[in-house]
Amino acid sequence: MSDASTTTEMLIEVMPRDLNSAGLIDTAAYLRWVQAVVIRHWERFASKAAQDSTLWSAVKHVVSHEAAGRHEDHLVAHTRIKKLKGVRALFITTVTSGEKLLAEIESTWVCLDSSTKLPKALDPEVVRNFL
């Protein structure tokens, strides 16, 4: 796990809609949680001006399931930026239940200008806040 100063944590309450027909946490739930914790991470480190002028769009998720998650699990998602270059950022998010790793998700996001909706590189000052 990364240094707490560059990692964002989010507690997760597993809801019935998060389960598949076998009663296990569905992949779609992990993706919703990744979306939420990555945006929380952005909001934690970016200035209000950067938040107002920038949008993020996920373009790729790779989910590695390590253990089955269930409704009664107490989950925590942790995310951090592994790589930030140009208009792209690679986030690594883990979802754990206690000491048990349930899933690791690598997700690639593209930074967009909130007005034009076109890709844009982040300001160097914003990048320094993330790394």
H-helix segments, 1-131: 27-45, 48-53, 124-130
Q: Please check whether residue 58 is in contact with residue 35, taking contact to mean a CB–CB distance below 8 angstroms.
A: yes
Closest by Cα among 79, 103, 107, 109 to 26? 103
Helix (H) or strand (E) holding 90: strand 88-97
Mean predicted confidence (pLDDT) in 52-58: 95
Residue 100 has pLDDT above 50, yes or no: yes
Name the more confident of 63 and 3.
63
Q: Write the CA distances from 33 to 55, 116, 125, 126, integer angstroms.
A: 18, 27, 27, 24
Question: Which of the four pLDDT bands, split at 50, 70 and 90, describes residue 2?
Answer: very low
Count of domains observed in the chain: 1
What's the CATH number where 126 sits? Answer: 3.10.129.10
- The reported pTM is 0.90
Residue 130 has pLDDT above 90, yes or no: no
Mean predicted confidence (pLDDT) in 46-64: 94
**Domain membership of residue 71 as a residue range:** 4-130
Look at residue 105 in the predicted model and tell me its pLDDT: 98
Q: What are the tokens at 95?
A: 């979802």
Residue 4 has pLDDT above 70, yes or no: no
